[in-house]
Amino acid sequence: MPILSKATGTECLCVGPRYLATFQPKQVPHFFTDVLVIGSGLAGLRAALEVDPNLSVLVVTKAELQLSNTACAQGGIAAVLGSDDCFDDHVADTLIAGGVLCDRDVVRSVVEEAPRRVFELIEWGTKFDQEGSRLALTREGGHRHNRVVHADGDATGREVMRALAHRVQQAPNISVWQNTFTIDLLIHATQCGGALVWNRQHGKTSIWAKETILAAGGAGQIYRETTNPEVATGDGLAIAYRAGAEIRDLEFMQFHPTVLYVAGSSRHLITEAVRGEGAHLIDRDGHRFMLDYDPRAELAPRDIVSGAIVTQMERTRHPNVYLDLAHLDPQFVRHRFPGISALCAQFGLDITCDRIPVRPGAHYMMGGVTVDRDGRTTLPRLWAAGEVASTGLHGANRLASNSLSEAAVYAAHAGREASTAAALQNDSFHASALENSPIDSGGEPLDIADIRNSLKSLMWRACGVRRDASGLAEAAESIGRWCRYVLSRQFSNPIGWELQNMLIVAGLIVQAATLRTESRGGHIRTDYPEPDDERWNRHISFAVGVSRQDDSIPREAEVNRSRPIARSAVVEPRPQVHHGKTITLEFAGGYWEGKTLHTDSADQEESLLASACYEMAHHGTIGAECVGLSDDAVTYARLHGWPEAADAGLQGAHRYRVVEHRETEQEIVVKLQFQPKNA
């Protein structure tokens, strides 16, 4: 039976069979387990470990156990662990990055649970980097505090996976099938009953499970430029969609700003932490350009940095920009980033003195299979966690290093709930009479590699960092044409099934991007460069036979409309003057009791500090419950040429909260009230 997704105002792209491969219950072996986990990244292994030891768990993974997006993660895990940090600040940073499409309750729950999950990983053997007896914390773009734990300098994911894989292998109730491709979910009586899988040893097998947890990762390989490993072809999204689960927010692909761009090499991520430790972004002429686009410079959220890089590449007519670490201590750089140092050395680059060529690449899918707070999907007996899931944490733009926090939290929830549900069901060892008959595909053999490469190039060109109606229409026409003769075929190996999955997911991404006629977070429309809050404070969801524009986002969400949502359209440099208006800041209480600062002051330091305070208030602090202007204001001032900014009285306990903001034709007045550190 063919499946169809009808998206209002766009031609349907995703027409295909319910099951990709032929199978018949008398001709394939059957395997029974209490809980099936599809995927072996952090989310998959953590979910498996949460299941009751008295229940059987089977982990099915597409490649080797430790080959996943998690294993490639360099930066770290974001959690409130520093003495100068607080949950409210982490919540606020996440909401500023993701905007109104974040679910505030989800954000707070993940932020508050993340430290527990970090300590759990430590208890299970993960060796995070330390400074003396304390965890070493770094800062990445969009974070106002150092709150990212890391391991082996720039190999956090690899270390986390080492510890988790060891623990899984010691668990007697958990079995792992490596190099096993999940073709489709098996649906019986409108419930998920397991999955049809394939490997070279035994061909197709029907796995029957009381509960199934989907943790199959992302879809970066749909794009030509990506940080994702070869296995990230969107399989989890495609099999969930074909099975009838709801998926949403697929237009929000995050493009990492700094991907190593060396001709002939695969695209390797250069972690955000490099900029967090002080690296500069420069163009071909050596100009440090990020200061022209955002006062946070290299520490701005990823959508802004990616957009700025693309603009600068166009202006300089150069295929990339560069990361520059030459001003940092060489010994520190090599110790902090040993993996990146070794990687670049393979191409004759010494990161302590040579410029590192970089450009954006597809990195993380903010959308995914819709889940509730426990990881429950809209399809009974199917759960999801990790990048394949859409939890409401990331909104339109993921805050750096929040993904591993989310994966650990939601995997624990999904594992616990799936375990509870499976324990309530009796063993039946009954295989449903599901089958998918063979069809005569006919025609000549397809050049799958050629179609795949064409799709990846098309998606990068037409649905990459920037999109517009004409490019999306071109993509829709080409993908629709390929789907008509690729999805009608029954392949017998993962190469063909991967291509079919990639086409389905790419088609849905293009449909969602076409529908969302605005720019928001990771979705940038050059023909609609501004956000449209009246129409688009909502999710775009797809399920078999229907698309839906969710009206559940409150109009007066906690992320106040008076606060700009972090976004990047056709990024232009920020003006140095705020529309010619004088900005006055009036302080009450604390270190600056009775102090007034003016941006047009003859005193250069006063003018600079006033600008720093205003920029931080303007970029998200209005209305926040716990706002620290200190670190960000000092960073801003330092970046603008005032190295003594640390002595200005805004550090440590000197914290202020915006209590009033008014604007006239000539002046902007901001009143700030002292807020004690522990308030």
Short-list 57, 59, 32, 27, CA closest to 434 = 27
Distances (CA, A) of 310 to 255, 290, 571: 11, 12, 9
Instruction: Judge contact between 73 and 229, C-beta under 8 A.
Output: no
| Sheet (strand 368-370) strand order | 389-390, 368-370, 247-248, 540-543, 546-549
Q: How far apart are CA 464 and CA 255, in angstroms?
A: 8
Q: How far apart are CA 600 and CA 578, in angstroms?
A: 11
Q: How far apart are CA 288 and CA 72, in angstroms?
A: 28
Short-list 360, 199, 387, CA closest to 272 = 360
Burial class (CB in 10 A: 0-12, 13-18, 19+), 408: buried
The CA-CA-CA angle for residues 460, 465, 468, to 5°, reads 85
DSSP string, 213-249: EE-----GGGSSSBSS-TT-SSHHHHHHHHHT--EE-
Question: Dihedral (C-alpha) 503, 508, 511, 514: value to the nearest 10 degrees?
Answer: -100
Burial class (CB in 10 A: 0-12, 13-18, 19+), 166: exposed
DSSP string, 144-200: SS--EE-STTT-HHHHHHHHHHHHHHH-TTEEEE-S-EEEEEEEETTEEEEEEEEET
CA within 13 Å, CB half, 404? 30
Burial class (CB in 10 A: 0-12, 13-18, 19+), 169: exposed
Output the six-digit token pair for 615.
């920029």
- Strand 247-248, strand 368-370: pairing: antiparallel
Is 302 one of the catalytic residues? yes
The CA-CA-CA angle for residues 223, 160, 34, to 5°, reads 85
Instruction: Judge contact between 43 and 57, C-beta under 8 A.
Output: no
Q: From the candidates 139, 302, 381, 489, which is the catalytic residue?
A: 302
Given CA atoms 59, 62, 67, 68 in this order, what sign does their dihedral have? negative
Q: How far apart are CA 548 and CA 530, in angstroms?
A: 22
Which residue(s) pair with 663 in the sheet?
Answer: 668
DSSP string, 94-122: HHHHHGGGS-HHHHHHHHHHHHHHHHHHH
Looking at the annotation, which residues are catalytic?
302
